[in-house]
Copies of this chain bind each other. A is one copy, B any other.
Amino acid sequence: MTGTTPAGPSRSDAVRNRRLLLDAAARTFAERGVEVSIGEIAQCAGVGKGTVFRHFSSKGELLAAIMLGMLDELADIGTALLTADDPGLALREFMAAGVETFVKDRAFCEVVGRPSLQHQQVRDAIDRLCDVAEELTERARRQGIVRPDITGTDVMLLLSGIQHTAAPLLTTDPQAWRRYLELALDGITASTGRTLPHPPPHHLPLTPDQEP
């Protein structure tokens, strides 16, 4: 378990509504991105607008709660793969899980792909995820399965890149991302003797949002 799960409400109707709300918000954010209005999420959950704000003090908090859940889930998958036998396969599976997370969620793309993020908690969760990616990459690198100059940050960045490569095909070919994941894996594999022309990144620069 990587993240922390806040307590949440205890009364049964509140628990049920919170669940409905999170589900509705997750679904709506996933399909239409961060721009969906709170009103729509409320309607989709079958509750009043006020109920959303009872459970989450602002739209940003609701969004952050959902993003946190997804980031921690992914970090947990990566952590589990750290003990897999085949580091190459582990990295592939981690990346597959990561790309799929992006592919299935527009809001995730919009929030996580952005270098400036309001929420410290979300930045922290991304950092945790980056650490896991770094470890998985390190193990694959040591076995010569990926080029020596590929970093965990490269891997993290590629998740988003692969999703965006396949994005226009999403409705006609929802699995197309697998093709570009494979292409990327070929790309980071050590087979060619050439070195990459640009130095590798060593961390994701995550800074608080500036007010525009």
A residues near B, CB below 8 A?
A: 32, 113-115, 154, 157-158, 160-173, 175-176, 178-180, 182-184, 186-189, 191-192, 194, 196-201, 204-207, 212
As for how many copies of this chain the complex holds, the number is 4
Chain B residues with CB below 8 A from A201, complex form: 169, 173, 176
Bound Cα distance A180, B212 (Å): 29
Bound Cα distance A194, B187 (Å): 13
How many Å from the CB of A193 to the closest CB on chain B? 10
| In the complex, residue of chain B having the shortest beta-carbon distance to the beta carbon of A109 | B164
Chain B residues with CB below 8 A from A204, complex form: 168-169
The listed residue (B170, B183, B194) touching A184 by CB distance below 8 A is: B183
Bound Cα distance A194, B212 (Å): 47
Chain B residues with CB below 8 A from A197, complex form: 178-179, 182
The listed residue (B157, B194, B206, B207) touching A186 by CB distance below 8 A is: B194
Chain B residues with CB below 8 A from A165, complex form: 157-158, 160-162, 164
| In the complex, residue of chain B having the shortest beta-carbon distance to the beta carbon of A201 | B169
The listed residue (B171, B180, B191) touching A161 by CB distance below 8 A is: B180
Bound Cα distance A200, B180 (Å): 10
Pairwise interchain contact B188-A191, C-beta atoms closer than 8 A: no
Bound Cα distance A158, B179 (Å): 11
Pairwise interchain contact B160-A167, C-beta atoms closer than 8 A: yes
